[in-house]
């Protein structure tokens, strides 16, 4: 009986230690989150503690850049971005590029394998997928009109320990609204008709 109790106690201790080890796994911590000023719109965080909630407003086509610092290993808490379209045309695609300089894809200073994970498109038709060896996200099939909004959710992931700054440069692909295009075509057509009539009268 004593041996049985000792064995049971050892097993219980092993289970507790195993749970503690799992509970103490290292996660990727993201700090120093911010947005680089830009003339194409605005960028504001409503939560920098995770999940990382940020609202981006595009007043014209261009790039807005989110910056931060990543340390640890594993997946980060999710980034949940809301994108407001105030460009004047509809948004047909959206792209996010992970780098260290906010301009283009570049090697991280310490050679860390930091990449993007699990992109999900929110509140819009279309889909998002990983590109450029998991350093980019491209969302296509969108049709977000002027004044509309949509969301993109994703994680950062570090398979090995990292200690590095990063930036996420991102922006939409915009197409003019059909109504202005139709009016432009109508105006050109009427101008052509008027010119033809003037030629006939002369």
Residue 86 falls inside a structural domain? yes
Strands (E), 62-191: 64-75, 79-85, 89-99, 115-122, 127-131, 136-140, 149-176
**Neighbour count for residue 67 (Cβ, 10 Å):** 17
In a 13 Å sphere around the CA of 86, the CA atoms on its Cβ side amount to: 11
Residue 74 falls inside a structural domain? yes
Residue 173 falls inside a structural domain? yes
C-alpha span between 73 and 159 (Å, rounded): 6
How much is the pLDDT for 8? 43
Length of the chain: 202
Please report which helix (H) or strand (E) contains residue 45, including its range.
Answer: strand 41-47
Find the domain containing 110 and state its range: 25-190
Residue 198 falls inside a structural domain? no
C-alpha span between 28 and 99 (Å, rounded): 17
Residue 58 falls inside a structural domain? yes
- Name the token pair of 131: 């590109």
DSSP 64: E
How much is the pLDDT for 19? 37
How much is the pLDDT for 198? 55
Split into its structural domains, the chain has a count of 1
pTM: 0.72
Beta bridge partners of 58: 41, 85
Q: Which residue has the tokens 């059909």?
A: 178
CB 139 within 8 A of CB 97: no
Residue 16 falls inside a structural domain? no
- List per-residue pLDDT tens for the chain, 202 residues long: 444 334 344 434 434 333 333 344 459 999 999 998 777 999 999 999 999 999 999 999 899 999 999 999 999 999 999 999 999 899 999 999 998 644 433 455 555 678 999 999 999 999 999 998 899 999 999 999 999 999 999 999 998 888 888 999 999 998 876 654 444 444 445 455 455 555 555 5
Residue 10 falls inside a structural domain? no
Residue 3 falls inside a structural domain? no
Beta bridge partners of 150: 83
């Amino acid at each position: 009986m004593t041996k049985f109790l000792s064995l049971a106690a050892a097993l219980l201790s092993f289970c507790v230690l195993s749970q503690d080890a799992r509970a103490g796994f290292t996660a990727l911590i993201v700090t120093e989150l911010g947005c680089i000023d830009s003339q194409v719109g605005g960028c504001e965080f409503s939560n920098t503690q995770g999940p990382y909630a940020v609202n981006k407003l595009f007043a014209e086509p261009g790039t807005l850049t989110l910056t931060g610092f990543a340390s640890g290993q594993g997946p980060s808490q999710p980034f949940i971005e809301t994108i407001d379209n105030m460009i004047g045309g509809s948004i047909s695609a959206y792209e996010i590029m992970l780098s260290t300089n906010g301009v283009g894809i570049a090697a991280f200073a310490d050679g860390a394998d930091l990449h993007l994970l699990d992109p999900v498109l929110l509140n819009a038709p279309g889909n998002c997928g990983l590109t450029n060896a998991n350093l980019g996200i491209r969302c296509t099939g969108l049709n977000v009109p002027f004044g509309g909004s949509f969301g993109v959710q994703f994680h950062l992931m570090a398979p090995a320990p990292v200690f590095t700054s990063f930036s996420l440069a991102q922006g939409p692909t915009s197409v003019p609204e059909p109504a202005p295009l139709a009016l432009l075509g109508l105006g050109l057509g009427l101008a052509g008709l008027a010119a033809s009539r003037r030629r006939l009268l002369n």
